[in-house]
Structures are given as structure tokens and as C-alpha cells.
Amino acid sequence: MNSSTTVRKLQVVSPVPADIDIANSVEPVHISQIAKELNLSPNHYDLYGKYKAKVLLSVLDELQGSEDGYYVVVGGITPTPLGEGKSTTTVGLCQALGAFLDKKVVTCLRQPSQGPTFGIKGGAAGGGYSQVIPMDEFNLHLTGDIHAITAANNLLAAAIDTRIFHESTQSDKALFNRLCPPNKEGKRSFSDVMFRRLKKLGISKINPDDLTPDEVNKFARLDIDPNSITWRRVMDINDRFLRKITIGQGPDEKGMVRETGFDISVASEIMAVLALTTSLADMRERLGKMVIGNSRSGDPVTADDLGVGGALTVLMKDAIHPTLMQTLEGTPVLVHAGPFANIAHGNSSIVADKIALKLVGPGGFVVTEAGFGADIGAEKFMNIKCRYSGLTPQCAIIVATIRALKMHGGGPAVVAGKPLDHAYLTENVALVEAGCVNMARHISNTKSYGVNVVVAINKFSTDTEAELNAVQSAALAAGAYDAVICTHHAHGGKGAVDLGIAVQKACKNVTQPLKFLYPVELSIKEKIEAIAKSYGARGVEYSEQAEKQIEMYSKQGFSGLPICMAKTQYSFSDNAAAKGAPSGFVLPIRDVRASIGAGFIYPLVGTMSTMPGLPTRPCFYDIGLDTTTEKVIGLS
């Protein structure tokens, strides 16, 4: 790293300029240079312009004999609506490790959804002097992965409605004739994907002409129950008017009207598949296993039943490769996948982490971010992602801010878009100390996985020395391995050097193995209750709908999957207003759904919106393009 030609240390100015201005003030290095620093051969990546590259999975084959580097996950305390700077801390820490502490380091981040960029301010590239660049390319399109997910998701949706339509208008014989048409010599054959359905039905014949009429009926008719369809269409634009729609109103659709809706693309199960898959072959299997609904007799209907599993894989074949980018200080970043952190697991991809751990090698660092507070993102990182990847983290960082801790200590409500109350802008050590119970519980919960916990106190200009020291003391008292004050927003990597040093020590001094919160062999309810206990709940209550769903999934053979709790990010409990560390409450499970291809069951605690809207003045008013220089203006 001392001979590195890509790492540089930033010159910072005060006060901190807008994110887009900082991002535009730094000329990115050509991405082939970043790849070279990682010892990535040109055979193992594809350039996408000058500042982005897709790292091919083939590099894993070449490096399979290498040892992994250290694996660090960044979570946070329960956040305010303004966010507490987990992405900024993740990037700042890596800039510190790479540019100031001479370590091999890769940051693994989620790809942000495009919709919010035009809706409400805020990208996901970090902030201030700790950012991924080019910022506009990070927040828009990137290398087209989300576009591929949108296309794949909607292909499956079209296949569902079309199949129902064709089954309703044709006899068994006509359906079968069209599914297995004779070729020029009059011979019929099954396509590869059809053998999956035949196997599921227990039919071992390979010649279509050998099927009995009863077998033809079973094979050709999926008999989908329209009321059971859980698969929705998606788009990567904030459009509340598509939350609930009626489709099939055209005269040619013969009255097959159905209510459904659109989610935002990152809420698609295909995004969760992309994040949790470990290889191309594994992705093919997961895509095919996705359950879109049930037949009228209660059997799950999969993408492979519809014949579309292979086509989905084709649409996703390039999306499986992570995108290489860089930070302001020239350290490498892998951007890949961005599943929702409520109805999905809110972490970037396994394949990116695996590639990064090999590239940095022993003694190097891979830092990844888990969405929302540690009760959501880090819990799912441990219990879902690490279970599927087989990887072991050494250190978990919990990002805390004085602002959020004051909120948890009883401060006034924090509302996005409204100025902060006076209580948040003036010193109040007692309020901070009262709020540290939230941080303490996150520390305790995270330590139980066997990792060393480091608290990163993200310092704002309004924070005082006494307040910061109070948090440091409380964190250490709660069992944190270390607690460090950070100024990476204002100072870039330099502001996170102490955090980098603490993380190095934490990684080198792990004493316990990774331990999951629950074994997957437990029943669905037992697993839900294990997670609820970590929230401080006294117990769990299930609605009638939830009971019915749990019974159905258990009967269908899906009870061995991990649990992905869909809960508000603003409280340990189901009540967003319950700050601090609430306990003794009963957690209400309103409904239970499943992403079978991605591989988890997700109980719903309260209502989850999966399609955001646009405000009166969306921030697209400020977004423009200098048509002379092609520079993007007004992204925030």
C-alpha cells in the first residue's frame, strides 16, 4: 500500500460543503487502477465506463486457496428519521484503514434504490468527506442491476396472469399441445425447465406422448388461485398511485380483472435472491423456487412451475457480478444488491463479501453495512446472511449519535424536514445518559453473536465534550470492546483513524465462535419468539391470519427457513413512539409471508409500505444536467 498510486488523503474545508460539491471536487481514479491495486486481473472484471467495473465471479475460483481477511459489519442504534450516519461511518472507516493505516480494505455496500433520489433528499453514498464516487453514478442506474431485477420480476408477474388466462380459455389437450408442440418431424419434447415440474409431480416419463390424460391435466394446469397470489409487479420510481391497482380491464382479457399493486424494485424477492445467493448455479435454483402463490388445492406454485426460472436467470446473469467503485480517498468499494431492510434482510450481497474477503487477504479488512438499527440489519446479517454464506465476522460496529440518544432519553420527536428542537442543539448530559439504554441493549444483543462490539460515536458540530464522554463511558460499561469518537463526515478518513485502530484490535482479539440466535430446526413460532425476546418483548401474539399462514408454510415444508422480521426501524417494539429500551410488551404478529427462493419467512409486525410516494416538492426540482459538461447538478 505504500507504493499505492490510487490512495490519497483529502484536503478538507470547513464548514463541510454539500455532498455533491465534495464529490465533484475530487477526480476519480480510472477504475482499472483500483482493480490493479487489488491484484485483480483484467480477465476477472468488465469495465463499465471509466469509473465502474463489474467484478466477475470467476475471481473466486482463482483465489479459492487464499485465506479471508477480517470481516466487519456496521450497524447502529435505533435511528431517528434523519439517520445516524451508518453509511458515512462505513466509508469513513475504510478511508481511514486504507489511506491512513495502510491496510488492504474493501467496502461492501448496498446499491441504493433510484426512486428516492428523485423523491426526498438523500442518496446512500455516505456523506461529507466520506463518500463513494462518482456520486451520481452510484445513485442512478449504476450498472443496471436494479433494472434487470425490475425486468425479471415483471416477466414473472406477466407469466402468472397470462398463464391463468390461457388455462381459463383452453382445454387440457389444447394447453398441452401448445406447451409441447410437435416439431417438423412431429416429435414432441419437454424443455429443460419442464422436467422440474414433472419431478415435482412425481412423473418420471421423458416423452410427452407417454403422459396419461390425468398426468396431462396435472402438468398443464397450475390451477393458480388468484386470491393467493403474493407476487406483485415492481418499478424503481416512487409512485404511490400504483400501490393498489386493478389489472386486466381490457376487453381482450375477457373479464379477468384482479386487484394487485406495484412495489418499489428493491422490495422484489429477486433482490433478496441476488443478495443471498452464493453462485450462478445457486441463483438459478433460488429463482426457480420462488413461490408466487398457491394452487386451488393449496400447493405452492413456483417460478419453475411457470417455466420461467431459466429466463429469469438469463436476465440476471450480469447482475450477479458486483460493481467496483471507489471512495473519495481512493479505497475500493464493491456495490451489490440492496434488499429492503424490513420485508427483506437489508444487507448487501454474499458474493461481494466473499470476493472482497479473498481480495484483501489475511490481515485485510472487509467492512459491510447492515440497514437500520442493529435489531434489524445486524440481526439479519448474523442470522440470515452469515447462515447462508458460512462467513464469520470478527467485529460489529454500532454507530451512535448524541441526537438519537437524546431522542431515546425522552427528547422531543424528531421529524424529517422540520428543524431540530432546541433540546438537540444544546448540552444536556442527563438526557444523553438516559438514552444510552438503547445503545446498551444493542451492544448486549450484538455481543451475543460472539463478535467484539465497537461503538462509533458519530460527532456532530452541536455535540459537547461532556456529552461525548458520557456516551463513551456508557458504551464501555455496557460491554463494548471499545468506544471511539469519530469526525469522518468533516475530516474524511483522518476522522476515523481511532475507529480503525479500535477495529483492528477488536478483530485480532475475538475469543468466541459465531453463535446464531436460534437454530433453524426450531418451529416458525419458536424462532419468532427468540427474536422477539431480543427486542425485550414479554411474549408474542399472533393474529388469525398469521396463525393460518404459519400453519400453511409448515405444512408446505418451509418451516426450516430463518426468520426475517418486518418491524418498524424506529423502536425495539412495534410502537414507533416507544423509544429507549422498551420491555415487557407483547409483540403482535399481524401476518406472515415468505420469500421461499431467497430463503426466509417474514412475519409482519405492523404495516410495511413497499412503495414510497413523492412529496409536493420532490427533489427532482433541483436535479439538473449541465448539457455542456454532462455534470449532474443538484443531487443530494
Partner 1 sequence: MEVVIVAIAATLGNLLMGWDSSTIADKMMSSTTVRKLQVVSPVPVDIDIANSVEPVHISQIAKDLNLSPNHYDLYGKYKAKVLLSVLDELQGSEDGYYVVVGGITPTPLGEGKSTTTVGLCQALGAFLDKKVVTCLRQPSQGPTFGIKGGAAGGGYSQVIPMDEFNLHLTGDIHAITAANNLLAAAIDTRIFHESTQSDKALFNRLCPPNKEGKRSFSDVMFRRLTKLGISKTNPDDLTPEEVNKFARLDIDPNSITWRRVMDINDRFLRKIAIGQGLDEKGMVRETGFDISVASEIVAVLALTTSLADMRKRLGKMVIGNTRESHFTFCFMLDLITEMAQETTRALRTGYILVYIYIYGSTNIFKKKTILFCFNHLKPIFYFCLH
Using CB under 8 A, list all residues that contact partner 1. Answer: 46-50, 54, 114, 118, 136, 140-141, 143-144, 147-148, 150-151, 154-155, 157-158, 161-162, 165, 233, 235-250, 252-253, 256, 258-259, 261, 311, 314-315, 318, 613-618, 620-625, 627-628, 630, 632-634
Cell numbers found for residue 571? 423502536
DSSP state letters, 272-285? HHHHH--SHHHHHH
Pick between residue 191 and residue 509 the one whose CB is nearest to partner 1: 191
Least distance from partner 1 to the Cβ atom of residue 330, Å: 20
Pick between residue 99 and residue 175 the one whose CB is nearest to partner 1: 175
Contact 320, 274 (CB under 8 A): yes
Cell numbers found for residue 558? 418451509
Pick between residue 356 and residue 611 the one whose CB is nearest to partner 1: 611
Q: Which of 314, 292, 288, 388 is nearest to 347 (CA)?
A: 388
Residue 375 CB neighbours (<10 A): 27
Pick between residue 262 and residue 553 the one whose CB is nearest to partner 1: 262
Residue 298 CB neighbours (<10 A): 11
Q: Are strands 53-55 and 632-633 parallel, antiparallel or unpaired?
A: unpaired
Q: Are strands 332-335 and 70-76 parallel, antiparallel or unpaired?
A: unpaired
Pick between residue 131 and residue 313 the one whose CB is nearest to partner 1: 313
Residue recorded with cell 453514498: 125
* CA distances, 231 to each of 160, 248, 269, 367, 484 (Å): 9, 16, 9, 33, 45
Least distance from partner 1 to the Cβ atom of residue 146, Å: 9
Least distance from partner 1 to the Cβ atom of residue 192, Å: 15
Pick between residue 248 and residue 361 the one whose CB is nearest to partner 1: 248
Least distance from partner 1 to the Cβ atom of residue 274, Å: 15
Which residues partner with 482 through β-bridges?
Answer: 454
Least distance from partner 1 to the Cβ atom of residue 593, Å: 19
Q: Which of 132, 144, 140 is nearest to 31 (CA)?
A: 132
Pick between residue 311 and residue 552 the one whose CB is nearest to partner 1: 311
Least distance from partner 1 to the Cβ atom of residue 201, Å: 24
Pick between residue 261 and residue 361 the one whose CB is nearest to partner 1: 261
Pick between residue 182 and residue 539 the one whose CB is nearest to partner 1: 182
Residue recorded with cell 480494505: 105
Within 8 A by CB and 6+ apart from 76, the residues are 84, 86, 372, 373, 374, 377, 398, 399, 400, 442
Least distance from partner 1 to the Cβ atom of residue 620, Å: 4
What are the residue ranges of helices labelled H in 232-332?
A: 269-276, 280-289, 309-316
Return the exposure string of 21-42: e unless at least 16 CB atoms fall within 10 Å of the residue's CB, then b: ebbbebebbbbbebbbbbebee
Neighbour-count burial of 145, counting CB atoms closer than 10 A to its CB (0-12 exposed, 13-18 middle, 19+ buried): buried
Cell numbers found for residue 35? 482493480
Pick between residue 212 and residue 609 the one whose CB is nearest to partner 1: 609
Least distance from partner 1 to the Cβ atom of residue 266, Å: 14
CA distance 411 to 576: 14
Distance of CA 299 to the CA centre of its chain: 29
What residue ranges in 183-261 does DSSP mark as E strands?
A: 233-235, 245-247, 258-260
Supply the DSSP symbol for 607: -
Which residues partner with 541 through β-bridges?
Answer: 588
Least distance from partner 1 to the Cβ atom of residue 106, Å: 22
Pick between residue 144 and residue 361 the one whose CB is nearest to partner 1: 144
Least distance from partner 1 to the Cβ atom of residue 539, Å: 31
CA distance 449 to 479: 13
Least distance from partner 1 to the Cβ atom of residue 622, Å: 5
Pick between residue 87 and residue 154 the one whose CB is nearest to partner 1: 154
Least distance from partner 1 to the Cβ atom of residue 268, Å: 13
Contact 92, 329 (CB under 8 A): no
Its sign, for the CA torsion 212, 214, 215, 221, is positive
